[in-house]
A = this chain, B = another copy of it.
Amino acid sequence: MSMAQAVEWTRDALQARIDRAPFNAWLGLELQDWGHGTIALRLRTRPEVLGHAAINALHGGILASILDTACSMAVVTATGESVYTVDIRVDFLRPATAEVYTIQAKVARLGRTLATAGAEVIAEDGQQVACGRAVLQHIAQMPAGRPG
């Protein structure tokens, strides 16, 4: 990954950027760590996000949601720009029956307007429960932190 210039983020500004999406705020996605083109988020389950009441597993769409957000935010750490997901693939590897998850994303390629990023969802026991790969478009906008 190569980029023209670095973008500086504070924890509060990056968490605010995540929460600019009401669904991220509702999910309670919490910023754990970040770098230039990488991010780690944390999700605690809540009863409404289950896909099956009997086995207490996350709905696949929730896994897709947090993988999508993590891929987008990994691009945001590097560009600060507006980011739109063009497409995403999600592989569901194991039942997501944990209480808390870490989501790690990394930009694999950052082009002038397009980026490709990968992410994985890790349960408390260290098991990978899902992974994803997304293509995203990033577009210059007003200064970071102001809605584009």
Contacts and interface: CB of A to CB of B under 8 A. Distances in A.
Contacts of A26: 48-49
A1 B85 CA distance: 19
Contacts of A48: 22-23, 26
Nearest to A52: B21
Interface stretch (A7-15, A30-38, A129-137): A129-137
B64 A50 contact: no
Contact of A61 (B66, B91, B108): B66
A15 B83 CA distance: 36
A116 interface: yes
Contacts of A144: none
B87 A51 contact: no
Interface residues of A, number: 47
Interface in A101-148: 108-109, 113-114, 116, 118, 128, 131, 133, 135, 137, 147-148
Contacts of A128: 108
A21 B108 contact: no
A95 to B, nearest CB: 9
A90 interface: yes
Contacts of A47: 22
Interface of A: 20-24, 26, 47-54, 59-62, 64-66, 68-69, 84-94, 108-109, 113-114, 116, 118, 128, 131, 133, 135, 137, 147-148
